[in-house]
Structure 1
Amino acid sequence: MSTVKIGPKHQVTIPRDVFAQLYLKPGEFMEAISEKGRIILVPKRLTNRISAPSLTEKEQNILSRAKLKIEKINKDILKSKGLTKDEIKISCKVGLIAPEQSWWWDEKWQKGERKSAQEIKEGKFKKFSGVNNLIKDIRS
């Protein structure tokens, strides 16, 4: 349980771990309910949701692994692993990741992401002041 402070315009910052666990995004709506001296915030979706697909026990286990991997990727890409084909399939099925972006979560792609992140961390990149300078560098 986290303690939060109310700001001057009644703002409350939702702790990062709670925000991630609920798959919230900035700009989403919350319903605020006062109940027995407590404030309860309930995420509201302003579009109709299709009912959640039923999953077998095996699929539920795969989904649990996928959620953990996604959390790790979002937290520290250098110390994470990408999703397997089965994890991607189930994650798309339940709407955890968008099917058109599933390639990005694949381990093969994540390997490249980790390599790029490591190279950036080590300063192994160049900055260019314009496209012409970039082209000039490529041709040299």
Structure 2
Amino acid sequence: MPTVMKISPQGQIRIPKKVMNDLKIIPGDYVEVDVESGHVVLRPRKLIDPSQGWYWTEDWQKNETEAEREIEAGRCSPEFQTAEEGVKWLDE
């Protein structure tokens, strides 16, 4: 069912929560605005390459933070010249 919205004096509209949920957008996200056949069309847009989205997930960022702490604390492996050296180190 369509929703009627009033345009503010600054030319702004408020996107209803249901529409935001349907589009899976949150405050601060970007939308592309276009006019097609006399209709306004909004499309959600992310400013990162979709193929790189995994990097910005909450879980991945949590693990990145943990890894940085481990590196700063010196809790990491030495450098290896070959994969075999690395495997040997892991076996020990």
Q: TM-score, normalised by structure 2?
A: 0.52
Q: Which has the larger radius of gyration?
A: 2
| 1:24-52: CA deviation from partner (whole Å, max 9, x where unpaired) | 12121111101111110111111001289
Q: Say if 2:59 is the partner of 1:99.
A: yes
| Structure 1 outlier segments of 4+, above 6 Å | none
- Select the structure that is richer in helix: 1
RMSD: 2.6
Question: 5+ unaligned residues in a row in structure 1: which ranges?
Answer: 53-92, 101-140
Q: TM-score, normalised by structure 1?
A: 0.36
Query: How does 1:38-117 map onto structure 2 within 5 Å?
Result: 38-50=39-51, 98-99=58-59
**Quick one: percent identity of the two aligned structures?**
28
Q: Secondary structure at the match of 1:27?
A: coil
| Counterpart position of 1:15 | 16
- Select the structure that is richer in strand: 2
Counterpart amino acid of 2:42? Answer: L
Cα pair distance change 1:99/1:51, threshold 3 Å: closer
Q: Distance in 1 between matches of 2:58 and 2:12?
A: 31
Q: Distance in 2 between matches of 1:22 and 1:99?
A: 22
Residue 20 of structure 1 deviates from its aligned partner by 1.4
Residue 3 of structure 1 deviates from its aligned partner by 1.1
Counterpart amino acid of 1:98? Answer: E
Q: Distance in 2 between matches of 1:51 and 1:28?
A: 17
| Counterpart position of 2:36 | 35
Question: 5+ unaligned residues in a row in structure 2: which ranges?
Answer: 61-92
Residue 16 of structure 1 deviates from its aligned partner by 0.7
Counterpart amino acid of 1:99? Answer: D
Q: Distance in 2 between matches of 1:21 and 1:37?
A: 23
How many residue pairs were aligned? 58
Q: Secondary structure at the match of 1:50?
A: helix
